[in-house]
């Protein structure tokens, strides 16, 4: 049995507000699903973040349906898990459940499904996206879920697990990482999603893990890192699953980062190379460093330099990034101050300190350009902390105790007016 493995398509991505980006992504996805059909795969795996948001526009849902329908009509199964981008933030259905033929695993009850191909049975399980920074408990719960899924498919010829997850082999410094060796042995192919570049590796017991990465450059950061774009065709029947990486053709993306006096020449040099493959123009992220007292209009200078030859975004940085102070002063302990506001009675409680630390990180991220992803992640982190329940309840309890002490009107509410 052969499968196509995609992840992090981010349909509907609104990059620098260029509609072209959304259209490019939809087109590439449809095209590579077609390639998967021609490669005669029996299933398509979607390892999360297929949509850029949990509530995509109708036209974006339509893009997913249009891309995947030809596969479903040929009897190719579609298995998916959700990522942090497309997981509903409120009680709702995931947009992917609207795609005919798609089975979203570990979302509406079904964790594993079996599929017969050529007289053999294959098992496909999907693990829910989980963050581990809130302690060992969540990690052990995750692993026990994986073990019970492994039991469901233990008797199959080959078992595959889909997970939108950070693993320590790839995300060495992330608090949310898990060692992929801990995944049950029964899963011979670990179909991962999350990072936007291609990564894969072999494990003991003839097991393979892989991130196909996204099909398209979804941020300037990915260009700086030189990520490879594409998807995987995987033969599950070999002793060790055999992966074949198919490179996609994303719109060329140029990142320029120059002091203002050099930016013009650099734009010209990049654009005069001018081979954009199937595209009429490249994407460009132009970081311009300005001296603090610079007064001229950089935006119109750049507009003239580009002259309609690129889809570009300008990021202006005044002074040099290294010189921007990250906090008010080294002697001010911002975390301690915020912790004492969150919970005046237990400012040293580790959970309170952690909440304060995330709030400081969020403040720093807000002070920088281009930290959109990081900001969203931090807001999620802060909201998922358990202390809010306790802190907010304590506050209410205090208020109602004070209230009972008597007084009238507003006095009653604020505590008896003594
Ligand atoms: Mn992700």
Phi first, then psi, for residue 54 (nearest 5°) are -70, -20
**Mean of the pLDDT values across residues 391-407?**
52
User: What is the predicted pLDDT for the residue at 342?
Assistant: 87
If you measure from the C-alpha of residue 10 to the centroid of ligand 1, how many angstroms do you get, rounded to a whole number? 9
**What is the pLDDT at residue 117?**
97
9 Cα: distance to centroid of ligand 1 (angstroms) = 10
Q: Answer whether 0.75 is exceeded by the pTM.
A: yes
Q: Is 42 helix (H, G, I), strand (E, B) or coil?
A: coil
Q: What is the CATH number of domain 2-247?
A: 3.60.21.10
129/9 Cα distance (integer angstroms): 16
Q: Which pLDDT tens digit goes with each residue over 100-125?
A: 999 999 998 899 999 999 999 999 99
pLDDT of residue 269: 96
Question: What pLDDT is attached to residue 239?
Answer: 94
Q: What's the average model confidence in pLDDT over 49-74?
A: 97
Kindly state the average pLDDT of the residues 383-409: 60
Of 89, 200, 180, the closest CA to residue 139 belongs to: 180
Poorest-pLDDT segment among 79-88, 89-98, 272-281, 343-352: 343-352
Q: Evaluate if residue 259 carries a pLDDT over 50.
A: yes
Task: Please say if the pLDDT value at position 47 is more than 90.
Answer: yes
- Contact (CB, 8 A) for 339 and 317: no
Instruction: Give the distance (Å) from ligand 1 centre to CA of residue 210.
Output: 14
Spacing, Cα 213 to ligand 1 middle (Å):
10
Cα 296 from Cα 304, distance rounded (Å): 14
176 CA to centre of ligand 1 in angstroms: 12
Q: How far is ligand 1, taken at its centre, from the CA of residue 273, in Å?
A: 33
Q: What is the 3-state secondary structure (H, E, C) of 96-127?
A: HHHCCCEEECCCCCCCEEEEEECCEEEEEEEE
For residues 185-191, average pLDDT: 98
Tell me what the mean pLDDT of segment 293-319 comes to. 93
Residue scoring higher pLDDT (344 or 412): 344
Residues 316-354 have pLDDT tens digits of 988 654 444 444 545 678 888 888 888 888 888 888 888
Exposed/middle/buried for residue 297 (C-beta within 10 Å: 0-12, 13-18, 19+): exposed
Alpha carbons within 13 angstroms on the beta-carbon side of residue 338 total: 16
> Taking all residues of the chain, what is their mean pLDDT, rounded to a whole number?
89
Compute, in angstroms, the gap from residue 8 CA to the centroid of ligand 1.
6
- Bigger pLDDT: 229 or 92? 229
Identify the sign of the CA torsion 382, 320, 302, 20. Answer: negative
Residue 202 pLDDT more than 80?
A: yes
Strand-by-strand arrangement of the 112-117 sheet? 112-117, 120-127, 158-164, 187-193, 207-211, 199-203
Q: How far is the CA of 12 from the centre of ligand 1 (A)?
A: 14
Q: Scanning the structure block, which residue is given the tokens 């390892």? A: 47
- For the record, the structure tokens of 6 come out as 């995609």
**What's the gap in Å between 262 CA and the centre of ligand 1?**
36
Q: In this structure, is the dihedral angle defined by the CA atoms of residues 256, 193, 165 and 83, taken in order, positive or negative?
A: positive
**Distance from residue 124's CA to the centre of ligand 1 (Å):** 20
193 CA distance to ligand 1 centroid (A)?
A: 7
Say how many Å lie between the CA of residue 342 and the centre of ligand 1.
30
Residue spans of the domains in the chain: they are 2-247, 253-323, 334-404
Q: If you measure from the C-alpha of residue 221 to the centroid of ligand 1, how many angstroms do you get, rounded to a whole number?
A: 15
Q: How remote is the CA of residue 100 from the centroid of ligand 1, in Å?
A: 23
Q: What is the pLDDT of residue 408?
A: 52
- Of all residues in the chain, the percent with pLDDT exceeding 90 is 68
Sign of CA dihedral 8, 14, 16, 21: positive
**Is residue 88 predicted with pLDDT exceeding 80?**
yes
Q: In what order do the strands lie in the sheet with 2-6?
A: 102-104, 77-81, 43-47, 2-6, 230-235, 242-247
| pLDDT reported for residue 324 | 43
First to last CA, the chain: 79
**Which of 120-124, 204-208, 403-407 is least confident?**
403-407
Distance, CA 194 to ligand 1 centroid (Å)?
Answer: 4
Distance (Å) from CA 223 to ligand 1 centroid = 17
- Measured CA to CA, the distance from residue 350 to residue 42 in angstroms comes to 50
**Residue holding tokens 């320029």?**
256
Q: Which residues touch 251 (CB under 8 Å, ≥6 apart)?
A: 20, 21, 24, 216, 217, 276, 279, 282, 283, 311
Sequence-distant contacts of 54-58: CB under 8 A, at least 24 apart: 54/85, 54/86, 54/87, 54/88, 54/89, 54/92, 54/94, 54/95, 55/88, 55/92, 55/95, 56/11, 56/12, 56/86, 56/95, 57/12
CA of 85 to the centre of ligand 1 (A): 6
Output the CA 164–ligand 1 centroid distance in Å.
7
Are the C-beta atoms of residues 110 and 86 closer than 8 Å to each other?
Answer: no
């Amino acid at each position: 049995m052969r499968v196509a493995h995609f992840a992090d398509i981010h349909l509907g991505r609104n990059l620098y507000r260029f509609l072209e980006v959304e259209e490019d992504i939809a087109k590439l996805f449809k095209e590579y699903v077609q390639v998967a059909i021609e490669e005669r795969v029996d299933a398509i795996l979607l390892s999360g973040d297929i949509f850029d948001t949990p509530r995509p526009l109708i036209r974006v849902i339509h893009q997913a349906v249009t891309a995947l329908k030809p596969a479903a009509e040929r009897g190719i199964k579609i298995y998916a898990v959700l990522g942090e981008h497309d997981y509903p933030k409120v009680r709702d259905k995931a947009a992917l459940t609207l795609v005919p033929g798609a089975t979203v695993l570990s979302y509406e009850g079904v964790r594993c499904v079996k599929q017969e191909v050529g007289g053999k049975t294959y098992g496909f399980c999907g693990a829910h996206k989980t963050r581990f920074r809130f302690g060992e408990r969540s990690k052990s719960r995750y692993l026990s879920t994986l073990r019970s899924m492994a039991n469901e498919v233990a008797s199959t010829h080959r078992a595959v697990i889909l997970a939108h997850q950070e693993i320590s082999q790839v995300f060495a410094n992330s608090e949310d990482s898990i060692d992929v060796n801990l995944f049950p042995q029964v899963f011979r192919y670990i179909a991962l999603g999350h990072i936007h570049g291609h990564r894969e590796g072999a494990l003991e017991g003839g097991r393979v893990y892989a991130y196909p990465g996204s099909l398209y450059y979804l941020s300037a950061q990915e260009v700086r890192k030189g990520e490879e774009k594409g998807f995987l065709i995987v033969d599950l029947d070999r002793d060790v699953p055999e992966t074949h990486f198919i490179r996609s053709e994303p719109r060329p993306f140029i990142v320029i980062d120059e002091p203002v006096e050099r930016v013009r020449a650099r734009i010209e040099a990049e654009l005069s190379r001018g081979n954009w493959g199937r595209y009429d123009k490249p994407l460009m992220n132009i970081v311009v460093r300005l001296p603090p007292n610079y007064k001229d209009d950089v935006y119109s200078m750049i507009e003239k330099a580009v002259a309609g030859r690129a889809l570009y975004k300008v990021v202006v940085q005044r002074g040099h990034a290294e010189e921007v102070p990250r906090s008010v002063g080294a002697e001010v302990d911002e975390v301690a101050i915020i912790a004492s506001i969150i919970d005046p009675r237990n400012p040293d409680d580790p959970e309170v300190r952690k909440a304060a630390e995330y709030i400081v990180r969020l403040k720093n991220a807000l002070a920088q350009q281009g930290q959109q992803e990081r900001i969203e992640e931090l807001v999620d982190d802060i909201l998922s902390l358990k202390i809010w329940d306790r802190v907010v309840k304590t506050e209410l309890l205090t208020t109602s105790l004070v209230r009972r002490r008597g007084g009238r009107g507003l006095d009653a509410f604020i505590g008896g007016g003594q």
